[in-house]
Amino acid sequence: MPSWIRKAFIPKFVDMVKRAGQVPTTKLIWIDVPVGDAKADVAPGCLHLPTTRMAYPQGAADSCLVRGLASALHESGQTDLSSLLSSNVFGLIHLPAQQQLDAIASLIMSRQPSTNVEKYYKKKKADKIDLLEDIHCNVMAVVLKGSDGGVQHGIGIWGNALFDSTQGCALTLCKESLDWCCGGKDASFVGVYKAIRIIPKAKQFVKSTHKI
């Protein structure tokens, strides 16, 4: 294994790559880099939803997907699930996109078996998601795909709000916000890489304060 891999990634991910290389069914497949992009940049003020605070900001931890989803769940009123994800965040991060989403889905369904988690892993299914036109009445966790090929940043979505946990508040769900999340000047948003949609049983639905 090249030395740069050990320098660039934490031992947990390096061990996963090593194990995959020893199993015939995974020996020659590509493995995504872990999702979890920590950055200090602040989105332009015109994109902010200042009254919608980020309940679970990620700080320096590479936990954008988990804490973005947790913040969206919190805002939607599903505080039991948001607290569950937050308290288990360090067991969920430093994993490739699909493994991280699977771990999140398993944790949610272990707490609330009646909750359905719809998965969008295959490219054909993920490509059908239109973040700007779909009505987001259910919370989603989304791994974004940038024009530079990057798939390492994840967000939460609910209603017309985008929850990028690197920020102090939610952003308006629009092309400009999605472009900023993917890098802004260096890269733009081109689509959904992988995603899950959290669908609670009917009586768990709460009244939205956001346009949906």
* Residue with the larger pLDDT of the pair 190 and 22: 190
- Which structural domain, as residue segments, surrounds residue 147? 33-204
In a domain, residue 95? The reply is yes
Same domain, 70 and 123: yes
In a domain, residue 157? The reply is yes
- In the block, tokens 């530079």 appear at 148
Stated pTM of the model: 0.82
- Per-residue pLDDT averaged across 34-47, rounded? 79
Same domain, 55 and 124: yes
pLDDT at 31 over 70: no
In a domain, residue 209? The reply is no
* Residue with the larger pLDDT of the pair 77 and 5: 77
Same domain, 170 and 185: yes
Same domain, 169 and 113: yes
Same domain, 41 and 54: yes
- Per-residue pLDDT averaged across 182-186, rounded? 84
Please give the order of strands across the beta sheet that includes 140-146. Answer: 48-53, 169-172, 161-163, 154-158, 140-146, 189-199, 116-120
| Residue closest to 102 by CA, chosen among 77, 84, 119 | 119
pLDDT at 198 over 90: yes
Residue 205 confidence class, pLDDT cut points 50, 70, 90? very low
Same domain, 164 and 134: yes
Same domain, 161 and 78: yes
* Residue with the larger pLDDT of the pair 17 and 187: 187
pLDDT of residue 207: 45
Torsions phi, psi for 198 (to 5 deg): -95, 115
What percentage of the chain exceeds 90 in pLDDT?
Answer: 63
Same domain, 74 and 22: no
What does the radius of gyration of the chain's CA atoms come to, in whole angstroms? 17
How many of the other CB atoms lie within 10 Å of CB of 94? 20
Same domain, 27 and 74: no
